[in-house]
Amino acid sequence: MPEPADVPGNDRAPGRPRGGRRAAILLTILFVTSMHPSPAFPLRGVSVVRLISALRALGHRVELFELGAGSGAVGYVRARGRVAEAIRILLPDVLHVHYGPCGLAVPRTDVPIVTTFVGDDLNGTPNRSGRTTWKSRVGILLSHYAARRSRRCIAVSASLRSRLRSAVLRKKTVVIRDAVDPELFQPLPRAAARERLGLPPDAVLVMFPHDTTQPTKRLWLAEAAVAELRRHVPAAQLWAVNGKPPDEMPWHYAAADAMIVTSLREGGPSSVKEALACGIPVVSVAVGDTDLFGEVPERIRVAAANAGALAAALHDALKMPRERRSLLPPGLGLREAAQAVVAVYRQAMAP
């Protein structure tokens, strides 16, 4: 990691203590997380990278300490010395831990800590029998440890915040939902999108924007719903889209007629907001940040987790006018989210 004086945009000389008039305006933030892109996982942590870019666009200095995907608890503990060195060099105003168990990598420090919980870190991951795995149970305990050490916490949905077992922890946790870059995710012509992607113009495509190998996403339920839908809409097809370059995703949303979410557990799926920003109707089971169901009732439908109910909701969604406009609710733009995060930083820094 470079010395602070060598990093463009740094306003603090090496060795200068935190605080002061300048620091009260623009902050130095050190992100500590395993949620970041890498050659092996190029799409991992895209939302974190976008948030960092938005914070920098507001004028703040942000550095990222990469823990590496799959480091686990032992790897996080081993990283403590390097994180301590980064703190010594950067003199950050705030440490921002993304993904609860990553808090184990933060050594004892007087720098205020803010921890963001994103989903599995509090929900856990079920095994094939539906029970939470032992590994993720440990992760949940580590997340609560991180929450106790943090001055403030952020959860990406109200349902995720409710997973914190202590009223004290819930009280210091703010809900800031994953946001969308409205300049990237916006309505595009459906015909042009299908031509670009080589898709048939007459197919009715129900987009499934998840990793089909993850049991919690319940691909089988989406398949059953679309099979039921074909009784009324013979051209309907389930279209699984995953692992695509982020900048190409707006074209995939534009090519879809609707999107379906059948997950057993979610924090606050970014794909739902991205689809809404692109003007695509969404049908979902009650999961994640269900506040959206009330904010955009004309374009997001909640349905029971069975094929018949989901198919009926999809059928209704497909009757909506094809003319598209952004349906992203207020406050879910990337800039607004970054401003909300900065407000949490300032709360954490308050005496």
Q: Supply the DSSP symbol for 205.
A: E
SS3 category, 301: strand
Say whether both 157 and 14 belong to one domain: yes
Say whether both 112 and 218 belong to one domain: no
Q: And the tokens for 12?
A: 């603090």
Residue 6 reports pLDDT greater than 60: no
Picking from 85, 108, 78, the residue whose alpha carbon sits closest to that of residue 4 is 85
Whether 106 is covered by a domain: the verdict is yes
Whether 184 is covered by a domain: the verdict is no
Q: Residue 41, exposed/middle/buried by CB under 10 A (0-12, 13-18, 19+)?
A: middle
Say whether both 72 and 172 belong to one domain: yes
Would you say the C-alpha torsion 233, 236, 238, 241 has a positive or negative sign? negative
- Per residue in 281-294, pLDDT tens? 999 998 877 666 67
How far is it, in rounded angstroms, from Cα 228 to Cα 311? 6
Orientation of helix 307-318 relative to helix 219-229, angle to 10°: 60
DSSP state letters, 102-168: GGGG--S-SS-EEEEE-SHHHH--B-TTSPBPHHHHHHHHHHHHHHHH-SEEEESSHHHHTTSS-HH
Say whether both 198 and 108 belong to one domain: no
Say whether both 13 and 159 belong to one domain: yes
Picking from 71, 72, 74, 53, the residue whose alpha carbon sits closest to that of residue 62 is 53
SS3 category, 302: strand
Whether 154 is covered by a domain: the verdict is yes
Picking from 236, 244, 231, 243, the residue whose alpha carbon sits closest to that of residue 260 is 236
Counting the structural domains of the chain, the total is 2
Work out the average pLDDT over 204-210: 95
Picking from 183, 173, 125, the residue whose alpha carbon sits closest to that of residue 146 is 173
Place of tokens 């995060």: 341
Q: Which residues pair with 207 in a beta bridge?
A: 239, 259
Question: What was the pLDDT predicted at 16?
Answer: 41
Domain range for residue 75? 4-179+333-349
Of the two residues 188 and 72, the one the predictor is more confident about is 188
Whether 323 is covered by a domain: the verdict is no
Residue 266: which pLDDT band, with cuts at 50, 70 and 90?
A: confident
Say whether both 106 and 40 belong to one domain: yes
Whether 248 is covered by a domain: the verdict is yes
Say whether both 126 and 232 belong to one domain: no
Say whether both 20 and 161 belong to one domain: yes
Count the residues in the chain: 351
- Per residue in 342-351, pLDDT tens? 999 999 999 8
Say whether both 54 and 100 belong to one domain: yes
Say whether both 101 and 137 belong to one domain: yes
Residue 9: which pLDDT band, with cuts at 50, 70 and 90?
A: very low
Work out the average pLDDT over 77-91: 96
Residue 178: which pLDDT band, with cuts at 50, 70 and 90?
A: confident
What is the CATH classification number for the domain harbouring 262? 3.40.50.2000
Residue 13 reports pLDDT greater than 60: no
Residue 326: which pLDDT band, with cuts at 50, 70 and 90?
A: confident
Say whether both 133 and 270 belong to one domain: no
Alpha helix segments (H runs only) across 198-248: 219-229
Whether 116 is covered by a domain: the verdict is yes
Of the two residues 271 and 6, the one the predictor is more confident about is 271
How far is it, in rounded angstroms, from Cα 100 to Cα 345? 17
Whether 293 is covered by a domain: the verdict is yes
Cβ of 191: how many Cβ atoms within 10 Å? Answer: 11
Whether 87 is covered by a domain: the verdict is yes
- Per residue in 116-148, pLDDT tens? 999 889 988 877 777 888 888 999 999 999 999
Say whether both 8 and 155 belong to one domain: yes
